A = this chain, B = another copy of it.
């Protein structure tokens, strides 16, 4: 009997037998948190549970892609705690934006997955949709404009964080050096503004950074982004017929 199995056997010595779907998904989240989405593998999840790989196919139907989609949906549901916040629509939306970002920063390796995954799952997503629809209605949007601004707002909520937490290509730091060399060779004549701002921007701005937002958060950028979007939303709501 292999070691992992033995551990599992002891852990399950109580009445509970077998493994639940929730356990599988939680284990998957743990694997992604630890190793990153790129190095995620079904066999690794199985190992961490002391179980044969084939077992997981019983709990989660479909292929690896479907598996990841369910993990993303589960995580989103798990991370997005109830947002029963009060205040006007503008401050509630801001709270939701901030809360989503906070949640993702606790699981940075999940962010790209969730951002680039189409599937959503069940109740908590419906609750989120309902809240956003409610606040946009309160702001004055209706009909087709309500739907358009719902899509815009959801994209705004998820968009910044997905980019902010994009993963660097590999763990080796050799490319970081090459990249910094490239930056130092940016032509002051062709790119005067970029050249001038580079000391302040290096590793703190898109395109010229080499570390992810999990190491170097872009707080100022996020605040500017949210405030700008909500300011625009308020202005456009005010000019509705």
Contacts and interface: CB of A to CB of B under 8 A. Distances in A.
Interface of A: 38, 62-63, 65-66, 68-69, 112, 115-120, 122, 125-130, 133-134, 137, 144-152, 154-156, 158-160, 162-164, 166-170, 172, 175, 179, 182, 186, 190-194, 197, 200-201, 204-210, 212, 218, 220-225, 227-233, 235-236
Given A232-B232, A232-B233, A144 B225 contact: no
Q: Nearest 10 CB-CB pairs, A to B?
A: A159-B159, A151-B221, A232-B232, A152-B225, A69-B169, A112-B116, A231-B232, A228-B232, A148-B220, A148-B224
B220 A62 contact: no
A229 B233 CA distance: 8
Contact of A118 (B38, B168, B186, B229): B168
Contacts of A222: 151-152
A162 B172 CA distance: 27
Contacts of A235: 231-232, 235
A151 B172 CA distance: 26
Assembly of this chain: how many copies? 2
A147 B220 contact: yes
Please indicate which of the listed interface residues A186, A207, A227 has the most CB atoms of chain B within 10 Å of its own CB. Answer: A207
11 contacts: A65-B169, A66-B175, A117-B167, A120-B206, A129-B207, A144-B220, A152-B228, A155-B159, A155-B163, A155-B206, A235-B235
Given A119-B179, A126-B194, 5 more contacts: A150-B221, A151-B218, A156-B225, A162-B162, A227-B236
